[in-house]
Structure 1
Amino acid sequence: MYVDGASKGNPGPAGIGIVIYDGDDRLVGKVSAYIGKKTNNQAEYSALLRAIQLALYFKTKTLKIRSDSELVVRQLTGEYQVSNANIKKLYERVMELKKQIPNVKIEHVMRNFNEKADFLAKKAADKKDKIR
């Protein structure tokens, strides 16, 4: 899975994008969802959280998540501490859910390898004006 979060304003209208591939690298699904007013980091964590929830729903045993958010990936691998209280709640939820999947790998990718998820996240954030 490739995940991304976007915020227009930071905080501002935010969206998440998820691109789902199977074990043979075939595209099997996409998610583009408006998530309300959030910071960019909250949106990034929200995308990751939704990806893990989807994996749990489909009873996935092995999960590889790729994100272009170096901060989020390094926090989840223990390289960086989480100091923001709002982010800490999301971080703790991700860590809790992650334990329910036997084999989870979260890795950082350069932005140009995450363009599809980025597009979906920005598209969802832009939908704010259309949702009433």
Structure 2
Amino acid sequence: MKVVVHVDGGSRGNPGPAAAGAVVSTPEGEVLDESAETLGVCTNNVAEYRALLLGLARAKELGAREVEVVNDSELIAKQVNGQYKVKHADMKPLHAAALDVLRGFDAWKVRTVPRAQNSHADALVNQALDAARS
């Protein structure tokens, strides 16, 4: 089974209170699963990696063998695709974990889209952050 996983991570402040969101759908757009979690205080980039890991875990749980990850973080996509090096110490273990999980799929791809095309995952992040404040 192939799935598309939209992921987004965000922090209010950098670092600040953070959350991750993921939406798993069929290639035709039917939503199979959505998930969000608060992350405590971290940077936006760490939150983006945590969102990637969340989305990959949800895809695995659904039995996906192929995954196309869509996010709005060019940095994360380019690091995972090997175009950029990972220099920040907090991101190195997250990067390694993401690659480890991705290797468990028969095929994978990570690409970026403009923020407006990732609105469902972004909304999950904001809902999680708003709920944590109340």
Counterpart of 1:14?
A: 18
Tell me if 1:73 matches 2:59: no
1: CA distance between counterparts of 2:21 and 2:56? Answer: 13
1: CA distance between counterparts of 2:132 and 2:16? Answer: 10
The more displaced of 58-67 and 83-92 is 58-67
CA RMSD of aligned residues (A): 1.2
Deviations 1:44-82 (A, max 9, x none): 000001111112222211111100000000111111110
Where structure 2 has 5 or more consecutive residues not aligned to the other structure, the ranges are none
Count of matched residue pairs: 130
2: CA distance between counterparts of 1:98 and 1:114? Answer: 21
Aligned letter for 1:127? A
Superposition TM-score, scaled by structure 2 size? 0.91
Q: Percent identity?
A: 33
Where structure 1 has 5 or more consecutive residues not aligned to the other structure, the ranges are none
1: CA distance between counterparts of 2:22 and 2:84? Answer: 24
Counterpart of 1:27?
A: 31
Tell me if 1:86 matches 2:90: yes
Higher relative contact order (CA 8 A, sep 6+): 1
Superposition TM-score, scaled by structure 1 size? 0.92
